[in-house]
Structure 1
Amino acid sequence: MIRKAIESYFSDATIDSANKCAQRLIQCLPDQKKIKNNRVLLAYGGGKDSSYMVAWVKYIHNIVLEEKGETFRLRIVTNRHAGMNDKVMENIDNAYRALGLYDDESVECLIVDGLLVRYFERYLLMPESVRIQNRTDVLMSGHRFQADARSTFCNACNLSMMNSFGMASQWEGGVDVVITGDSSKEQTAYFAWVRHLSRLFNRQVIDEGRGFSSFLKTLDGVAKGYFENIYGPGNVTSEHRIAHALVRDPIFFNIYQDAAYESGEHWSLLTEFLKFDFDELMFSFSESDCGNPTLMAHIRGLRAETLLGRTYTEGVREYVNFAIGLMQQKEFPRHLVFEMSARYQNDSAIDRQRARAEKFALDAYDLSSEQLICMIYSPFTECGKNLERYLADQKILLSAPAIHALLGGNINGCSMLKTKLETLSGLNLEQLRQCYGNCLVVSLLEPKSKDPLSRVLRYDPHKAIIQVKNDNAPDRRITEIISGR
């Protein structure tokens, strides 16, 4: 029996907490007469913490069944993006098999790929359109934020994740309850952040008392404002919006107070029972279901090597020190922190990670190192503000006036120049012209900027201020912001 199997990995205190959590959940279900009429939604990213959360909620699911003779319908949704490889799908599949979810008629396992909702299958291919959209979002954001790690990889991805919640909440009859593992403090901070963003983009301000659909509607306004800023008015696609027209308006149910999240406390459950494998690429600093932090470290190395005239190794070590600190803040087990440190322990190890990052950039996003370097310079944004330096530093024999004429005017220009710019950047001519008309997001150290994207970046909590050498100006150190995961 699944309940007994899970229970064998729990302490007495954990079992007691789970029983209390089950009673709280029962009390908040809207249909008290027929428990099986209630639908409960749980998001599952495929990482270590969310894998434990799935096992925890399934345990509660079984407690309710044994107590009431019936249980709520559990809907689990995974939002997939290009930064997740096949190993994440394997970990999810392993967890579902261990928990007996495929054979449980009261459980629905869903996967969202862009705007497509399907039942989860181990070898279900990601639509190429989703990969292309993720790639374009990375490039367009990167060229606006000058390859800031979080802004480049996480902004669009986070909004996509919230859209998957909306899509799963409106799919086939909707849901009554959305389970969250965030603490009350984290929830309050997140609501405050959303309210702040809605004001930045002159959108409807969230009303916390009006339920999940109101929350999603507010986020939809934020998403529209954000992507209009990136792509231009009229260029925001349905893939960039947040689904909020829900069949039912679910309530939040918080399990943070009951579940112990530190993976060291449930290591055997993760690795022995759920068969969770910490993949060399998907276990990437503070993430265990996404390879993007490996690219963030890589880009930091490339930035040092190009813009700052230093070495790739120095830049990577800056990121590693920052990201290891994040792991410690999130209370990762010591052996996982040690394993991550060992990957970057010396020059040879960093060279191996560089090769791995270059391959992942190509496999996941079809991005070459040349295109990543171009994004670091962001040479076409803000009327080509950084163009001449980019051409000189990278020894690119192209005419700056000709590029200005092509991107700033309505002329088609030289087809060879157009092709060359598209190859260098990974963006098409229309997208390059959009970058040309957009301003660069200024440093977080310039708080007077009224650009909403600068303020989004400023309030991101996963960042640090560091002092670095600039060998292009060896007489002084410069202050920079480093962000990541």
Structure 2
Amino acid sequence: MNNLSTMMKEIQGYLSPAIIDSAQRCSDRLLAALPDRQQLENNRVLLAYGGGKDSSYMVAYVRYIQGIIWQQRGATFRLRVSTNRHAAMNDSVMENINRVYQSLAMHDDPLAECLVVDGLQIRPFARHLPMPEAVRQQNRNDVLMNGHRFRADARSTFCNACNLSMVNSFGLAADYDGGVDVIITGDSPQEQAAYVAWARHLSRLFDAPVADKSRGFSGFLQTLDGVAERYFTDINGADQLTPAHRITHQLARDPLFFNIYQDTAYEAGAHWALLSEFMRFRFDELMFSFSESDCGNPTLMAHLRGLRAETLLQRNYAEGIREYVRFALGLMVKKDFPPQLIDEMAARYQDDAAIQRQRQRAATFAVEAFDLSEDQLICMIYSPFLAHGQQLNHWLTRQQIALDEAAIRDLLDQRSEDNALAQQLTQLSGMTLTQMRHCWQSNPVSSLLDGKSADPLSRVLRFDPHKAVIQVNHGELNDTVTEVISGR
């Protein structure tokens, strides 16, 4: 017996007439799209769930549609919900997800399947499911290698590898235990078309094979697998490529896409009571981080901006933070965040004392999530090992690091094997000797300000939409310089 009857009674009072009407229309469309309309329970529908405010509403909306069909037909589809987990999601995200599942009566319901993807591992959701240490280490390596190669650009450091991992989790969840028939998305048809165009554009940039269009979602995944293979080979070196860097694309069956974009509004304010009262969603101090409500990385992006101002630009930490806050609050406005949440975020950085508290919080989180110290983040900002040590002297001098530059050059050029020096550099950078040597042989990625480049990584950075060009003071030059700022 399923739990839909109880859930439908309890949720009804939290839904506006407009939401109820749109859900009814959406259920009719979904019913018509299901491949087996005679035996509805034979249809398996997949929904990705990040654990944030918008995706929590999506889960509630689709669960409600599942209930509408059950009430009208006496049978309904099976719903699979999958969460891709990473190191920047703390326990409060799992707590929110658990409360949402409890509120929607999804635990122990044969018509609901709740999954967690950790790297290449996919398991049933459990409130205190430990994250594999291998996944945390993979995420740490991705942050380090992307961070150094992109010279601590915020989005590239934290999002590039994570975005490809998210695509892989789609493939894993769509293939798991016999596969799914339908994937539900909140993206508009135009956005879906843009994703396909983006995948094909990346494949051309990286000279990766493009799958036949007739292969549908499997082909989309296959195309991005070729991109991921070449991207991570460039970032890490061919000998450091792991199965976790690839994208699952051989699916048990090829699912259809069904979008609910036109059926419901995404602004949290439009369904605040459903979110905060019925599902008991809570905005954690770390996971609610600028335009994200399920990821602490934007707090680290702001922290990097502050450290950059303090070290590389010879200004002060608070100036860099205020630059990021202005930029990121603008993103929140564009994403239709409720005014009270924008005000709450602004208050966290309202004065120097508040900024200092946030600095400590960010530093603690960097260690907890990625085992990265402040010195190691500062090293990433200088990216001293790239291009045969182009910024090595600058880093050593400015940070007053008492190491022999010539000895470092000999070590990273493989003219020596000084284990003690290698350990000191690992302590300062967080990187292994192999990783430092790969950076030594690699060029920095050109930014928007460096002019056009044929390098695929530079093109990826250039076309990232969440960035702005700003004017900042440079303390050492005693002049104004132009910089690119990016973030979430």
TM range (shorter): over 0.9
Q: Once the 2 structures are TM-superposed, how far is the Cα of residue 11 of structure 1 from its aligned partner?
A: 1.5
Q: Once the 2 structures are TM-superposed, how far is the Cα of residue 189 of structure 1 from its aligned partner?
A: 2.4
Between 152-161 and 30-39, the greater mean CA deviation after superposition: 30-39
The aligned amino acid for 1:159 is L
Q: Once the 2 structures are TM-superposed, how far is the Cα of residue 450 of structure 1 from its aligned partner?
A: 1.2
Answer whether contact 1:41 1:175 (CA < 8 A) is retained: yes
Q: 2:113 & 2:415 partners in 1: Cα distance?
A: 51
Aligned partner (choices 468, 476, 487) of residue 484 of structure 1: 487
The corresponding residue for 1:44 is 49
Q: Once the 2 structures are TM-superposed, how far is the Cα of residue 191 of structure 1 from its aligned partner?
A: 2.1
Answer whether contact 1:195 1:206 (CA < 8 A) is retained: no
Aligned partner (choices 438, 444, 458) of residue 442 of structure 2: 438
**Does 2:30 correspond to 1:25?**
yes
The corresponding residue for 1:453 is 457
The aligned amino acid for 1:147 is A
Answer whether contact 1:145 1:441 (CA < 8 A) is retained: yes
Q: Tell me, what secondary structure is at the counterpart of 1:226?
A: helix
The corresponding residue for 1:284 is 289
Aligned residue runs from structure 1 range 329-478, under 5 A: 329-409=334-414, 411-412=416-417, 414-474=418-478, 476-478=479-481
Superimposed CA distance per residue, residues 290-316 of structure 1 (whole angstroms, 9 cap, x where no aligned partner):
000000000000000001010100000
Answer whether contact 1:88 1:289 (CA < 8 A) is retained: yes
**Does 2:311 correspond to 1:313?**
no
Between 110-119 and 192-201, the greater mean CA deviation after superposition: 192-201
TM-score, scaled relative to structure 2: 0.97
Superimposed CA distance per residue, residues 21-53 of structure 1 (whole angstroms, 9 cap, x where no aligned partner):
111111111112211111110000000000000
Superimposed CA distance per residue, residues 161-213 of structure 1 (whole angstroms, 9 cap, x where no aligned partner):
11111001111000011111112232232222212111111112355553111
**Does 2:39 correspond to 1:34?**
yes
Between 263-272 and 191-200, the greater mean CA deviation after superposition: 191-200
Q: 2:73 & 2:316 partners in 1: Cα distance?
A: 64
Q: 1:228 & 1:115 partners in 2: Cα distance?
A: 19
Q: 1:463 & 1:274 partners in 2: Cα distance?
A: 33
Answer whether contact 1:191 1:208 (CA < 8 A) is retained: no
The aligned amino acid for 1:477 is T
Q: 1:306 & 1:188 partners in 2: Cα distance?
A: 42
Q: 2:211 & 2:289 partners in 1: Cα distance?
A: 34
Q: 2:172 & 2:384 partners in 1: Cα distance?
A: 37
**Does 2:126 correspond to 1:104?**
no
The aligned amino acid for 1:446 is D
Structure 1, unaligned runs of 5 or more: none
Q: 2:191 & 2:329 partners in 1: Cα distance?
A: 21
The corresponding residue for 1:267 is 272
Q: 1:27 & 1:404 partners in 2: Cα distance?
A: 66
Aligned residue runs from structure 1 range 248-267, under 5 A: 248-267=253-272
Q: 2:465 & 2:189 partners in 1: Cα distance?
A: 17
Q: Once the 2 structures are TM-superposed, how far is the Cα of residue 409 of structure 1 from its aligned partner?
A: 1.8
Aligned residue runs from structure 1 range 159-238, under 5 A: 159-205=164-210, 208-238=213-243
Tell me the number of residue pairs that the alignment of Structure 1 and Structure 2 aligns. 483
The corresponding residue for 1:242 is 247
Superimposed CA distance per residue, residues 411-455 of structure 1 (whole angstroms, 9 cap, x where no aligned partner):
31x221111011111011111101111110112122321111111
Q: Tell me, what secondary structure is at the counterpart of 2:336?
A: coil
The corresponding residue for 1:302 is 307
The aligned amino acid for 2:477 is A
Q: Tell me, what secondary structure is at the counterpart of 1:77?
A: strand
Between 294-303 and 229-238, the greater mean CA deviation after superposition: 229-238
Q: Tell me, what secondary structure is at the counterpart of 1:42?
A: strand
Superimposed CA distance per residue, residues 114-134 of structure 1 (whole angstroms, 9 cap, x where no aligned partner):
111100000011011110110
Q: 1:448 & 1:123 partners in 2: Cα distance?
A: 48
Aligned partner (choices 78, 82, 93) of residue 87 of structure 2: 82
Q: 1:209 & 1:304 partners in 2: Cα distance?
A: 50
Note the aligned Cα RMSD (angstroms).
1.0
Structure 2, unaligned runs of 5 or more: 1-5
The corresponding residue for 2:3 is none
Q: 1:188 & 1:280 partners in 2: Cα distance?
A: 35
Superimposed CA distance per residue, residues 377-420 of structure 1 (whole angstroms, 9 cap, x where no aligned partner):
000111111100000000001111111111112531x2211110
Superimposed CA distance per residue, residues 214-270 of structure 1 (whole angstroms, 9 cap, x where no aligned partner):
111111111111101101123210001111110000011101110211100000000
TM-score, scaled relative to structure 1: 0.98
Q: Tell me, what secondary structure is at the counterpart of 2:286?
A: coil
For residues 339 and 207 of structure 1, do their structure 2 counterparts lie closer, same or farther at Cα, with a shift above 3 Å needed?
farther
Q: 1:68 & 1:47 partners in 2: Cα distance?
A: 32
The corresponding residue for 1:142 is 147
Percent of aligned positions that are identical: 62
For residues 294 and 396 of structure 1, do their structure 2 counterparts lie closer, same or farther at Cα, with a shift above 3 Å needed?
same
The aligned amino acid for 1:439 is N
Q: 2:210 & 2:448 partners in 1: Cα distance?
A: 24
Q: Tell me, what secondary structure is at the counterpart of 2:380?
A: helix
